């Protein structure tokens, strides 16, 4: 068990999040851990080592094992409505699906013949549509993909329908979109916009929200500026709590932007995912995978 520091900014933290916490480091042998997702059917947590070009799986009984090597520099992961794994690949600049028989299928890698930049994070809506972000981090160097020029002017949030094969830009109103998650009623899509990575003085490190209108996103507004560091990946619980990565751990916010508190890991944190229930949060932070139990 690791020492866990907690900063509480609002007394509602204890009522809404819990008052008994335990943090376990499950694995620490990756280069840059990302994209955790719980696969309910198998009881495995899947996560990516973006810079190590591998994917891993973890279970209570078997610990951590290599799941895919190489992984095409996989990053974010999600589970579709059929229980299949959906993955953002920097290497092939695509969204892929791993069927239950192990077959890996490229779902989409371009829009109107122009190659995507490097899909970063992905969520699947209850209607089966796949929503993902496409910043350039996999094509800027060979560290987590292959260096290449962008064929698309801009970094957007996309919606892809695996039934009709239709892809559309859901909003042009993002600079460097990264993590994303739907509100419990799916009427709002929250997005991490983190252009501060490129523009230290003028860039953003904000969580923003959009209204979902069919295939499109409307009415962008700022939810919260995330400090320290940047918002990368995040998850939203059924009772409307945002668990958002930052430079030192996981910040817990209400959907109106009120910050309740922070789980301080003292290392750059990239993403998180609920386990079999929302009392278990798996966290990827730099080289490690953690499990946070909240009661």
pLDDT in tens, 140-165: 999 999 999 999 989 999 999 999 99
Which DSSP letter does residue 2 get? B
What pLDDT is stored for residue 203 in this prediction? 79
Per-residue pLDDT at 49 exceeds 50? yes
Residue-by-residue DSSP string for 179-198: EEEE-TTSSEEEEEE-GGGT
Which DSSP letter does residue 91 get? T
Distance CA 131, CA 115 (A): 17
pLDDT digit string (tens) for 8-23?
Answer: 999 999 999 999 999 9
Q: Which pLDDT band, with edges at 50, 70 and 90, does 1 fall under?
A: very low
Question: Which tokens hold the place of 39?
Answer: 């696969």
Q: Say what the pTM is.
A: 0.97
Distance CA 25, CA 4 (A): 11
- 145 burial (CB, 10 Å; 0-12 / 13-18 / 19+) is buried
φ, ψ at 196 (rounded to 5°): -60, -20
Distance CA 146, CA 128 (A): 30
- 167 burial (CB, 10 Å; 0-12 / 13-18 / 19+) is buried
Which DSSP letter does residue 19 get? S
What is the mean pLDDT of the segment spanning 127-147?
Answer: 97
What pLDDT is stored for residue 3 in this prediction? 67
Per-residue pLDDT at 50 exceeds 70? yes
pLDDT digit string (tens) for 183-213?
Answer: 999 999 999 998 877 888 877 899 999 999 9
Distance CA 131, CA 277 (A): 23
What pLDDT is stored for residue 2 in this prediction? 58
Distance CA 70, CA 289 (A): 19
What pLDDT is stored for residue 4 in this prediction? 87
Per-residue pLDDT at 263 exceeds 50? yes
Residue-by-residue DSSP string for 226-253: --SS----EEE-TTSEEEEE-SSEEEEE
Instruction: Name the percent of the chain lying above pLDDT 70.
Output: 99
Q: What is the mean pLDDT of the chain?
A: 96
The three-class DSSP label of residue 131 is strand
pLDDT digit string (tens) for 225-261?
Answer: 999 999 999 999 999 999 999 999 999 999 999 999 9
Cβ–Cβ < 8 Å for 134, 119: yes
Domains along the chain? 5-294 (2.120.10.30)
Q: Which residues contact 99 (CB under 8 A, 6 or more apart)?
A: 84, 105
Taking every pair of C-alpha atoms in the chain, what is the biggest distance, in angstroms?
52
Distance CA 203, CA 181 (A): 22
Cβ–Cβ < 8 Å for 4, 21: yes
């Amino acid at each position: 068990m690791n020492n866990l520091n907690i900063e509480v900014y609002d007394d509602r933290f204890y009522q809404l999040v819990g008052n008994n916490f335990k943090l376990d480091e499950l694995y620490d042998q990756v280069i840059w851990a990302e994209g955790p997702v719980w696969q309910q059917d198998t009881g495995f947590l899947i996560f990516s080592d973006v810079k190590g070009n591998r994917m891993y799986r973890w279970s209570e009984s078997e610990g951590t094992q290599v799941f895919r090597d190489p992984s095409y520099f996989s990053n974010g992961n999600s589970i579709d409505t059929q229980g299949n794994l959906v993955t953002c690949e920097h290497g092939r600049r695509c969204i892929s699906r791993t069927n239950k028989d192990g077959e890996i299928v490229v779902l989409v890698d371009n829009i109107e013949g122009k190659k995507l930049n490097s899909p970063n994070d992905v969520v699947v809506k209850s209607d089966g549509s796949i929503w993902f972000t496409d910043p350039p981090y996999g094509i800027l160097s060979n560290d987590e993909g292959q260096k290449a020029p962008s064929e698309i002017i801009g970094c957007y949030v996309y919606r892809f329908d695996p039934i009709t094969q239709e892809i559309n830009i859901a909003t042009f109103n993002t600079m460097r979109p990264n993590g994303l998650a739907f509100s419990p009623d799916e009427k709002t899509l929250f997005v991490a916009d983190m252009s501060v990575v490129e523009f230290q003085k003028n860039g953003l490190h904000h969580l923003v929200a959009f209204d979902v209108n069919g295939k499109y996103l409307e009415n962008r507004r700022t939810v919260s500026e995330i400090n320290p560091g940047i918002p990368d990946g995040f998850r939203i619980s059924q009772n409307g709590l945002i668990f958002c990565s930052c430079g030192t751990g996981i910040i817990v916010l209400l959907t109106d932007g009120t910050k309740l508190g922070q789980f301080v890991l003292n290392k750059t944190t990239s993403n998180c995912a609920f386990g079999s229930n929302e009392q278990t949060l798996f966290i990827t932070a730099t080289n490690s995978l953690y499990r946070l139990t909240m009661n």
